Chains A and B, each alone.
Chain A
Amino acid sequence: DVKVTQSSRYLVKRTGEKVFLECVQDMDHENMFWYRQDPGLGLRLIYFSYDVKMKEKGDIPEGYSVSREKKERFSLILESASTNQTSMYLCASSLFVPTSRDRDQPQHFGDGTRLSIL
């Protein structure tokens, strides 16, 4: 069965701290994604990665960075946490589909991390 594991369900940090959110998938997926979800704003893409050491900015990358040193692990880093980064963070992965004739494969999500910045 598909498994995406996020390191923490709940996390409380202080303003200015460097925060690491970890995500591991066991499906050998090429694509990995980080989203944040806030009430009334839906899912917003922060960063995604389609291969080891590769990363692409999403819609709201400011204040975040990512690291993908191994295929199965994708880390989200808050360089200097601020209160407006309090949110639900969701990691997802999906299989790369090499041709346009094939259907894209769905994303599979981790349980999410509820991050509070005080």
Chain B
Amino acid sequence: RKEVEQDPGPFNVPEGATVAFNCTYSNSASQSFFWYRQDCRKEPKLLMSVYSSGNEDGRFTAQLNRASQYISLLIRDSKLSDSATYLCVVTHNYGQNFVFGPGTRLSVLP
């Protein structure tokens, strides 16, 4: 079993839709959590950190459930520019280990 798992998708949604991605991790010692987005043939870019209390950045909301070892990302009012692969990342060992999930592909359709 992989340490970080995500639904690979693809998720095909119309503009304006709300879409949610899930991520589970197996290492209970994981310390920090992030969502990255990666456009085709580009590098991953930090989308947002994920805090225990949950956090929001505009149309994006991230949630963490340490008991269930589960992270989520909610995107409201999807835009065409949201089309990308979304990578869930967990860390441990004082930031020396970043474990990336396989990514979930999102296509927002006009």
Contacts and interface: CB of A to CB of B under 8 A. Distances in A.
Nearest to B2: A42
A91 to B, nearest CB: 9
Nearest to B8: A40
Contact of A95 (B46, B87, B95, B103): B95
Interface residues of B, number: 21
Nearest to B43: A109
Contact of B32 (A31, A103, A110, A114): A103
A90 interface: yes
Given A109-B44, A112-B42, A104 B91 contact: yes
Interface string B28-53: 00011010000001111110010000
B14 interface: no
B41 to A, nearest CB: 8
Nearest to B91: A104
B95 A110 contact: no
Interface of A: 31, 33, 42-43, 45, 48, 50, 56, 88, 90, 92, 94-100, 103-112, 114
18 contacts: A31-B96, A42-B102, A45-B98, A56-B96, A90-B43, A92-B98, A94-B95, A96-B94, A97-B95, A99-B94, A103-B32, A104-B91, A104-B94, A107-B89, A109-B44, A111-B42, A112-B42, A114-B41
